[in-house]
Amino acid sequence: MEHERHINRAMRPSDHDRWMGSCIDAAETAARSGDFPNGACVVIGQDVVAASGSEAEAGADPTAHAEVSALRKAAASGRLSPGATLFTTLEPCAMCLHSAAVAGVREIVFACRRSDVGDAAYISSLDAAAMAELLLQPLELTYHGDPNGRIQKLVTNFLSRNQRQDT
């Protein structure tokens, strides 16, 4: 996992925690509306320019993952610029990772690894660090962590609720 690094909490804990808090709020909103509990925000400088939860179910758009939705909102506002940082509650899937690279994102900060929430939350076995190695432009992945387990609990509850409905 050459491209993944752990956040140095001595450097900017309050900023990263605040921005991840925006992602968690968006994930909780998505969960309340029956959508997958993932949240993301686009940060430029010190400002959150867009935030979104997953909108795939509500909008009947399978590509409306939280990361893609946040990037779309940032672009629509005219505030998306190369060098942005994308914060997200979950390790990004292939589509979200590539969308971020195309948008010029320089860093993705995520709270939970796929191993934290299980493969049922993902559609492929590709992990973000391996995919980032294949990109033609650098994209740094930073593991933030989920110290209170809020995100893992949201995803686990969502997946178990959906499994019960499928049976």
Query: Looking at the annotation, which residues are catalytic?
Result: 67
β-pair partners for 43: 48, 85
State which amino acid sits at residue 69. Answer: S
Pairing between β-strand 85-90 and β-strand 39-44 as defined by DSSP bridges? antiparallel
* Burial of 115: CB neighbours in 10 Å, binned 0-12, 13-18, 19+: exposed
CA 95/CA 98 separation, integer angstroms: 5
Tell me the C-alpha distance between 112 and 142, whole Å: 11
